[in-house]
Amino acid sequence: AKEEGRGRWTRYDPAMDEEREERNNMELDLREAIERQEISVAFQPVVDARSLDMVGVEALARWTRKGHGNVPPDVFIPIAESTGLIDQLGLCVLRNACLALRQWPDLSLAVNVSPGQFRDPAFATYVEDVLHDTGTDASRITLEMTETYFIQNPARARGALERLKQTGVKIALDDFGSGFSSVGYLRQFHFDRMKIDRSLVESLGQNDRALDVLKATVSLARALDIPVTAEGVETDVQVSALKLAGCDLLQGYFFGRPMSEREIAARRGVQPVS
Ligand code: C2E
Ligand code: CA
Ligand code: CA
Ligand code: CA
């Protein structure tokens, strides 16, 4: 047996060591991949709920780990967050996505931001630098954040949010409806966009209350003048319900999975040269 913190004793477990070692190895590989700029970006279409035209994309980080294949972001993003690699990773995604955006002058771009990045007082400056270097108009960019940091640290979050908004980018509250998601945060912080979580969209058609909850959520956002994006849209039944509820933008496998830059270009077809 070996001692754990607070004087508790647990049985020695070789599986735990293996798990720890695998995590360490993954961390080393991730660090190397970031340094070598091997983190790529997939783009998922976002469509206008009325016209169903593609009006934007969300950038999603992708990592093919050598000898292991694709590692899902739900696995490597938490590792990046707990090891401080997220700052570099996040800016790398932003930069690459902004570079791709140059080919699509009519599209907007959403990029995810982790609390760890947002917490860094220099974050807004980093964002400004990337936008400047890539010649990107800030008004085309939305940074997506979940509520965690806003709940944990409202006073600091408010300052960071204001500073970031001064750069001209928009801020979206991501995954709304997945956690505590109280009306309070929406009043307290001025988000420019709200993204309704996939879990809420998924429950549509499964029960009637889901539609009521959705309608109430969208009305709330509308009352605050915040455009609403529904994510995780997979069926035409969901599309109808979301349109009926008044969502402004839709995103999900029904319209397109996250795809390469080239696939986005192909989907848009030949664009008129202006
Ligand atoms: P998210 O920001 O909520 O992104 C949406 C996730 O839902 C993506 O998963 C996307 O592929 C998936 N999705 C989209 N439409 C559908 C659908 O119709 N059905 C289903 N079942 N899923 C759908 P992905 O790419 O695996 O990313 C997972 C999470 O990892 C993201 O959730 C985000 O929180 C995080 N993430 C990804 N890239 C980045 C990044 O560059 N920076 C940070 N900080 N987080 C990232
Ligand atoms: Ca997101
Ligand atoms: Ca989301
Ligand atoms: Ca999510």
Residues in the 5 Å CB sphere of ion ligand 4: 175
Residue 1: the pLDDT is: 47
Return the sign of the alpha-carbon dihedral for residues 173, 47, 124, 63: positive
Long-range contacts (CB closer than 8 Å, 24 or more residues apart) made by 120-129 = 120/87, 121/160, 123/160, 123/164, 124/160, 124/163, 124/164, 124/166, 124/167, 126/87, 126/91, 127/94, 127/164, 127/167, 127/169, 128/167
Residue 34: the pLDDT is: 96
In 17-95, beta strands by DSSP E = 40-48, 54-65, 69-71
What tens digit of pLDDT does each residue of 138-193 get? 999 999 999 988 888 889 999 999 999 999 999 999 999 887 767 788 888 999 99
> What share of residues in the chain are helix, strand, coil (percent, to 5)?
50, 20, 30
Closest CA to 96 of 173, 38, 9: 38
Mutate to test the pocket of ligand 1, among 231, 239, 249, 263 (most ligand atoms within 8 A of CB): 231
Beta carbon of 147 within 6 Å of any ligand 1 atom? no
Q: How far is the CA of 253 from the centre of ligand 4 (A)?
A: 14
Residues in the 5 Å CB sphere of ion ligand 2: 112, 144, 174
Long-range contacts (CB closer than 8 Å, 24 or more residues apart) made by 153-159 = 153/119, 154/188, 156/119, 157/118, 157/189, 158/188, 158/189
Enter the ipTM.
0.98
What tens digit of pLDDT does each residue of 99-128 get? 999 999 999 999 999 999 999 999 999 999
- Helix (H) or strand (E) segment spanning residue 213: helix 208-223
Closest CA to 165 of 197, 139, 198: 139
What tens digit of pLDDT does each residue of 249-272 get? 999 999 999 999 999 999 987 665
Q: How far is the CA of 175 from the centre of ligand 4 (A)?
A: 6
Contact status, residue 164 vs residue 127, Cβ threshold 8 Å:
yes
